[in-house]
Each structure stands twice: as C-alpha cells, then as structure tokens.
Amino acid sequence: MHGDELPLFFYSDLFIKHPQVRELFPVSMATQRGHFVDALVKIVSRADSVNDLTAFLQGLGRDHRKFGAVTEHYGAVGSSLLATLEHFSGPAWTPELAADWKEAYELIASVMTEAATADEQLQPAWWRGTVVASERRAFDICVLFVRPEPRLDYLPGQSVAIETPSRPKLWRYFSMANAPRPDGLLEFHIRLIDGGAVSMALTSDTIVDTEVRLGPPVGVLTLSQPLSSQDLLLVAGSTGLAPLKAILDQVTALPQPPKVHLFFGARTADGLYDLDSLEKMAAQHPWLTVTPAVSADPRFNGETGSLPDVVARHGDWSGHEAYLAGPTEMVQEAARRLISADMVNDHIHIEDFGWSEP
Amino acid sequence: MTTVQFDATWLGGEGRLTPEDLQTVTFPVSRLGRRGYEEEPVRAFLRVVHGEFVRLVNERASLWQEVQRLRRRILAGEAGGDSQSVLFGEQDAHVHAVRILSTAQVTADRYVADAQAYSSRVTEEARLRRDEIVRQAQQHSDMILEDAHARAREAAVSALNDPAPPQTDREQRAAQAELAYLRTYSDVYRSHLRAYTEGILRGIDEWERKEAASFTEGASAQQVAPGQEGASAQGAIPGHVNNHHRSIGP
C-alpha cells in the first residue's frame, strides 16, 4: 500500500473524469480518504465471511443514500478504482488481475446498490429539518428543537446524522432527546466541541430558522424489551443525557413503569444543563430517582467524583438493565465497573455507531 | 473530528502513520502528582512534524509518479515505439492532471485542518479563561459574604451589649440585634457589589474598546475569545450570593 497516496490518486482521478461527483464531498478530503481506506480494509478482511461482508456492504449502500450517491456513481467509482490500482501496480498489473478486480468490484457495487434501492421503498434518503428553537443552557451547550419534513419515526435512544448548510457534506450523529411526539418535533442536545465544525454551527445563535438535513435513524441504544418489568439504571455523562432522556420519555408513557435510577454527571454544576426538568419529572413520578453528580467542583452541593465512581457507590445494580451514554472513556469505565460488580454484559447497553462513526 | 488516542502499537506495527494521525493524536493525561510534558510545546512540535511529513509524502508521491512515467518511457523505447509520444501522451497528461489536483486537494485539506486547529485552540483558551474567571468570582463572592457576615455579627453583638433601659425585654433586644445585623450586612454587601459591578463594567468597556481597535487594525487573533467570558462571568456571580446561610450571633 502507499498510505495516503492511493486514495488521493483515486479521488483526483474520479473528480477529473467526473467533475459533478466532487460536490458530493466536503471541502477537506482528509477524513474521507481515511474512510475510503478503512472501508477497503474491512471489505478485504471480511472477504471470507460472506454474511458479515454482505451486511457491512448493505449498510454502506444504505448509508450512502444521504450523501447523494446514485447507481450511476458506482460505475464511475469502479473505473477510477481500477485506474488507481493499475497506476500503483505498475508492470504487475495484468489483464487477468484487472478482470478479477472488476468482477469483485461489480459484486460489491451490486450488493450496495440493491440495498440502497430496497431502502428507497422504506424511507427517504434524508429529511428536511427546520430548527424552530434553540435554548442556550450553558456557555457550550444548546438544546435544539427541529421539525422534520416529512415525519421521522425512530426508536427512543436512536440518533440521526445532521448536516448544516454552513458545513456542507459534513454529517455528525446526534441523539434525539425525546420519544416520537404527535407533533413530530425532535429535541437535540448539542455540546460545542473545541474545533468541532458541525457542533460550532449548531450551537451558533444564527441556527434558528435554518434548514438542516437529517439522515435516517440509527443506533442500538434502545429498550430491549419495552414492556419488561426490569428496573433501569441510566448513566448519562454531559449530552449523553439525550438518548437516555428519550428512553425515560418512553418509559413515562408505560402503564406500569419500572423503577428508574438516572445518574446525570458533568464536570461542573453548570454542565448539568437539564437538571431542572429532570428533577421536575422525579417529583412527579415516584418510580424515578435522579442523582446529579459533578466531577470537578468540590463545592457542589451533591454527589462529587467521577460518574462511574458515583454509580458504583450507590451499591448493587444486579437485576437492572443499564443504559450508558456520554464521553467514550466515561462510558467504558462505567461499563467495566458494572461488569466487575457482577453485572451481566448482556444487560449493559452502550451506543455503537459501528463503521459509520463520524 | 475523530481523535486517535496514542497507541504504542503504531511504532513498528503494520499500520502506517499518516500526517492526519499527527494532528488528531491525543495522549493520556499523566496521573496526578506525576510530571508530564507541557502540552503546547508538544503540539507545536507535532505541527512541525506534520508539515514536514506532508511535504515528504507529496514529494514521494511525485517521485513515484515520475518513476512510473520514466519506466513507461523505457518500456516504450525498448519496444521500439516513439518515446516522445509516451512522454507526452494522453495517459501522462491525465496523470499530470491527477497530480495537480491531488496537490491542490492536500493544500485545501491543510487549510481546513489549520483553521480547525486554530478554532480548537481559541475555544480551549476561552474555556480555560472562563473557568479561571468563574473561580475568581467564586473566591471573591466568598470573601464578600465572609466580610459582610463578620461585620454584621460585630454590629449585632454590640447592639446586644448596649446598655439598654431595664424595661426592655429579651425579644426587643434580639430584634434590635437582628436589625443591626441585617442593616450592616446589606450595607457591606451593597458596597462590595457596587465595587464589583463597576469592575465588571470597566472590563466590558475595555473589551469593547479593544474590539473596536482590533477591527480598525483589521483581522486580529484576539477578538474571538472574550464573547463567552463576558457572558459567563456575569452569570456566575448572582448564583452564589444566594447560597449563604446567615447565622446570627449570641
């Protein structure tokens, strides 16, 4: 392999031969080249496990709909891929090799386009979403309300990729913070990431009334048995609260809600941006306990320390279904602590964006 | 932006280090009490390495293409073909165009990465300064409350000790003490608050002045940060004055 040179050549070749394809991609291609190589590596490494590979390619094909990829693009990509391989193989490139690659690529493309075509019958490639309101809850956290068109249905705990007009072709995943509502409105909790292009656009004051694009709902952080009587442990770090609040919203509507204990952690007290509404809910529902925790402010009038520590201090969670969301390190540490406290792995649910993590 | 945590398996492993890895790598924070490198010099060094790395990768890419071109030329020469037409043939023109577009793309990528790194640095600095301002405001408010409380307590004690007419019952004396406490507390508190608010207003004037000056000078690196600090410093003060529990003297 030639590191970055191979995808660089591939995309340049593609864009010179088919200039109209360029506009499907963001300005900076650095991340894109990485994705391209990752996908190739995954395809090659799964080549002997047909089921795995097929599922991966089907997902890839469906996911590419929101980027605006259509069947005609697949031919263009194939010919540039062959040209790239030929260029880098030099004299080792033979007509037989070319024929093999062509056949393999056509197989890959057919699995992807078939999945994309089947998906067209089920849902749009993307939804138009109008940002109807933005509430600044902390200096770096905003709660957005978005009205999708047409209606977007999903499971509480799932996420959608969002693209803003000021950052074209950059899609980032955000979880809905409410269960589907009759009026279809979606709530998102956005934290400004240092240097994060999309989060910066979404937390900007000018986001209200803009039209964003929403990809189809994805994610597995959903109630495994919606009507199960098992008690729930919800552990939310910062805006990881969003998917868990959606689950809470879903539980609230059950005729006989299970006992729910929600831990909501942040670095400082002003990072507990949604505590008021959670405490109101807890006052209303005897089955709900909310425990706020702050990790970097000893003055905080409540639980202090890292969220996994605080959760562990609250004792025995066996017999609970645990849902964890937040910064990756916090989630992994919390999961590790729960497992070492005899909680069964199957009862711990964390978000997994799989290959398409932005 | 995806960040990659540094992993020792990179070194000598099969995976190749790319310039983008250098820009996105993070290192675990050293444990409390142990000494680590200053973060900024490490980042500055990584930026230099990244620039050099990109240069080398590009140089290598063009050399590789040059080799390919010359190899084809030799092969064509050996085959007895017209080496000139191979040298400037359609295929070469295309590869040349691909190379130009690749260079342009890498340049664009670098601009975006630089802008992103810059915005990241500015936000990070603003966040740190905000934390510092909030911390100072908290300290200051603690001090104000402590001072107001101490002086009010003194006033209450002296009201209690006043030689009072014999018919004054305990309740009245207690009420007087309470009154003295509250009066002094609110006096002290008010004057502190006034001084502090004036300080903040001066800060805002200063900020406005600097911003206006920097606009006239043209683009400046300083303008972006203060917006968040001003807003949060104001928000931080009232939250803490209410937490104080007054306790009255003897």
Q: What is the pLDDT of residues B109-154, one digit of tens each?
A: 999 988 888 888 888 888 888 888 888 888 888 888 888 888 888 8
Give pLDDT, residue A358: 31
Question: Furthest-apart CA pair in chain A: how many Å?
Answer: 75
Residues A191, A14: Cα–Cα separation, whole Å: 36
Does residue A350 share a domain with residue A235? yes
Does residue B153 share a domain with residue B47? no
B179 belongs to a structural domain: yes
Q: Searching chain B, which residue's CA lies closest to the CA of residue A356?
A: B2
User: From the CB of residue B19, how many other CB atoms can be counted at a distance below 10 Å?
Assistant: 24
A320 belongs to a structural domain: yes
A220 belongs to a structural domain: no
Residue that is last in its domain, among B84, B119, B154: B119
B198 belongs to a structural domain: yes
Does residue B94 share a domain with residue B180? no
A209 belongs to a structural domain: yes
Segments forming the whole domain that contains residue B213: 135-241
Pick among B23, B105, B123 to test the A interface (most A CBs inside 10 A): B105
Does residue A138 share a domain with residue A115? no
A335 belongs to a structural domain: yes
**Look-up: residue for tokens 């500055």?**
B44
Say if CB B192 and CB B184 are below 8 A apart. Answer: no
| Alpha carbon of B140: minimum distance to chain A alpha carbons (Å) | 15
Q: What is the mean pLDDT of residues B196-201?
A: 83
Does residue B88 share a domain with residue B10? yes
A222 belongs to a structural domain: no
Instruction: Assign B81 a pLDDT band (cuts: 50, 70, 90).
Output: low
Instruction: Assign B89 a pLDDT band (cuts: 50, 70, 90).
Output: low
Does residue A326 share a domain with residue A262? yes
Start-to-end CA distance of chain A, whole Å, equals 24
Say if CB A172 and CB A162 are below 8 A apart. Answer: yes
Give pLDDT, residue B10: 53
Say if CB A243 and CB A176 are below 8 A apart. Answer: yes
Does residue B41 share a domain with residue B111? yes
Looking at per-residue pLDDT, the higher value among B193 and A19 belongs to A19
Does residue B233 share a domain with residue B155? yes
What is the count of residue pairs from A and B with beta carbons less than 8 Å apart? 88
Question: pLDDT at residue B228 above 80?
Answer: no
The set of residues, in sequence order, having a beta carbon less than 8 Å from that of A280 and lying 6+ positions away, is none
Give pLDDT, residue B229: 32
Residue that is last in its domain, among B92, B119, B146: B119
Give pLDDT, residue A356: 36
The CATH code of the domain that includes A203 is 2.40.30.10
Does residue A291 share a domain with residue A193? no
Q: Is A210 helix (H, G, I), strand (E, B) or coil?
A: coil
Contact (CB<8Å) A139/B106: no
A49 belongs to a structural domain: yes
Nearest alpha-carbon partner for A186 in A141, A130, A237, A135 = A130
B127 belongs to a structural domain: no
For residue A89 the two structure tokens come to 């193989």
Does residue B144 share a domain with residue B83? no
Residue that is last in its domain, among A159, A179, A214: A214
For residue A123 the two structure tokens come to 């849902």
Helical spans, DSSP H, in A90-196: 95-120
Range name among A89-98, A103-112, B59-68, B214-223 with the lowest pLDDT average: B214-223
A221 belongs to a structural domain: no
Give pLDDT, residue A34: 87
Does residue A156 share a domain with residue A202? yes
Question: pLDDT at residue B233 above 60?
Answer: no
Q: What is the pLDDT of residues A29-85, one digit of tens each?
A: 988 898 888 888 888 888 778 888 888 899 889 989 999 888 889 999 999 999 999
Does residue B147 share a domain with residue B96? no
A102 belongs to a structural domain: yes
Residue that is last in its domain, among A156, A186, A214: A214
Say if CB A343 and CB A322 are below 8 A apart. Answer: yes
B221 belongs to a structural domain: yes
Give pLDDT, residue B220: 40
Give pLDDT, residue A48: 77
Contact (CB<8Å) A30/B113: yes
| Alpha carbon of B54: minimum distance to chain A alpha carbons (Å) | 10
> ∠ at Cα A275 (A273, A277), nearest 5°?
110
Domain count, chain B: 2
B128 belongs to a structural domain: no
Domain count, chain A: 3
Say if CB A193 and CB A177 are below 8 A apart. Answer: no
For residue A215 the two structure tokens come to 């990809």
**Look-up: residue for tokens 């097929």?**
A54
Instruction: Assign B165 a pLDDT band (cuts: 50, 70, 90).
Output: low
Does residue B107 share a domain with residue B152? no
Does residue B110 share a domain with residue B17? yes
Question: pLDDT at residue B79 above 80?
Answer: no
Does residue A104 share a domain with residue A59? yes
Give pLDDT, residue B84: 53
Give whole-number Cα distances, A86 to A93, B15, B44, B101, in Å.
Answer: 6, 23, 39, 19
Does residue A131 share a domain with residue A114? no
Does residue B237 share a domain with residue B200? yes
Residues B65, A128: Cα–Cα separation, whole Å: 44
Q: Which residues pair with A191 in a beta bridge?
A: A141
Peptide bond into B238 cis (omega under 30): no
Nearest alpha-carbon partner for A64 in A177, A213, A216, A222 = A216
Residues A330, A335: Cα–Cα separation, whole Å: 9
B248 belongs to a structural domain: no
For residue B39 the two structure tokens come to 């973060």
- Buried b / exposed e across B148-174, counting CB within 10 Å, b at 16+? bbebbbebbeebeeeeeeeeeeeeeee
Handedness of CA A358, B6, B12, B16 (dihedral sign): positive
Range name among A71-75, A84-88, B54-58, B222-226 with the lowest pLDDT average: B222-226
Question: pLDDT at residue A207 above 70?
Answer: yes
**Look-up: residue for tokens 């000021």?**
A166
B249 belongs to a structural domain: no
pLDDT over 70, % of chain A: 96
The CATH code of the domain that includes A82 is 1.10.490.10
Contact (CB<8Å) B109/A197: no
Does residue B200 share a domain with residue B171? yes
Q: Closest to B102 (Cβ–Cβ): which among A12, A200, A301?
A: A12
ipTM reported for the complex, 2 dp: 0.77
User: What pTM does this model have?
Assistant: 0.69
Residue that is last in its domain, among B119, B146, B168: B119
- Residue numbers in B near A4 (CB within 8 A): 18-20, 57
B211 belongs to a structural domain: yes
Residue that is last in its domain, among A187, A214, A241: A214
Does residue B114 share a domain with residue B151? no
Give pLDDT, residue B240: 35
Interface of A with B (CB under 8 A): 1-5, 8-9, 11-13, 15-16, 27-31, 34, 87, 90-91, 139-140, 192-197, 200, 270, 299, 301, 357-358
Segments forming the whole domain that contains residue A152: 127-214
Question: pLDDT at residue A226 above 80?
Answer: no
